[in-house]
Structure 1
Amino acid sequence: MLAFDSADVAAADRARTVIAGLGGEGIRLRVTLLCAEASLRARWWCLPLSPAAGVYRYEGSALRMTRRAADVAAQPTDRLTFAVPGSPGSTLWQDGRLRPLHADDLVLIDDATPFDYRGGEGSLCAVHVSRVALGVSAEQTHAAASHLRDSPLHDLARDHVRALGRIAAAAGGRSLGDVGRATALLFSALLLSCDVF
């Protein structure tokens, strides 16, 4: 498990440390702080659930996370991220669409394509799962992304992401392989139940 608290870092090094830490969390990701450096605060936890899944929780200042076409080309991935912003006013741009997000939205981010996420001050819980572990194609992923609320499993999946975020902050290095496999099954069922195929 990886944990970080900006309060443990000298004020002069916080911005650089937060950007480097969040930008190195498994895929090539560009991080921009959307706050004054003097007021920056950030805590995060990253916890692997299985070889194909992991959970991430962020609490702190507003930020932007971007994967550009050059990032995707430099570091391809089959990873999908299911995220729940903890504050209103967040946005996600992907596939040529800009979507405003509410604090209780479950959103699907395909890390294999460019995206731009802007989150307000607060928390973000996210679970990433390999598309191979989910057993879904890129076409199925993109078709389901804007229809997650249509699934009868939406609320269960959203609450699962939040619960895993709480577990990440308190796990203390426990092995959660069974949770990772169950998580992949739940998100596979979520995508396939969107009734758009």
Structure 2
Amino acid sequence: MRLLKSSIHPSLESVDQSSFLRLAARGIILKGEDILMLYTQRYDDYTLPGGGIDEGEDQVDGLIRELTEETGARNIRNVEAFGLYEEFRPWYREDFDIMQMKSYCYTCEIDEQLGETSLEDYEVKNGMKPVWINIHEAIEHNIETIKNSEKKGMSIERETFLLCLIRDELLGVSS
């Protein structure tokens, strides 16, 4: 899978510290210029649906599981590799200083009607919900959050980069 970007969080002086690897799969689901996203109230941002791949789980199986849990997506099909976003972030728990995250991004199609979600407790507490939004609005919203919000999460830079790349490459429209 092609490397889209490798990003080092600005607070890290070096990536030569104790680290662990987290693998994730993220879904790109378009309907015209609308894209299926997760809106998170706590961080006031839009992110691609997806999440951690369980140990021993295939990337595509992890993607399908995460899309089903987070968005209620049904009949996930025509899954195609889009690219890998790699990032190094500070880790604030014992044992490690850095988390290296590899997000494998895939385009896919789903049935138009979403089913029930089965969000994890922290996702519910953070006010996470699946939404269809115009990709240009999502990009603009995230850019404003980056500029103006003190509560923004660490993933917003990744998500905004990916949204711009999706807009440019898959929709053939730039800003």
Higher share in helix: 1
**How does the TM-score come out when normalised to structure 2?**
0.27
Tell which has more relative contact order, 1 or 2 (C-alpha 8 A, sep 6+). Answer: 2
**How does the TM-score come out when normalised to structure 1?**
0.25
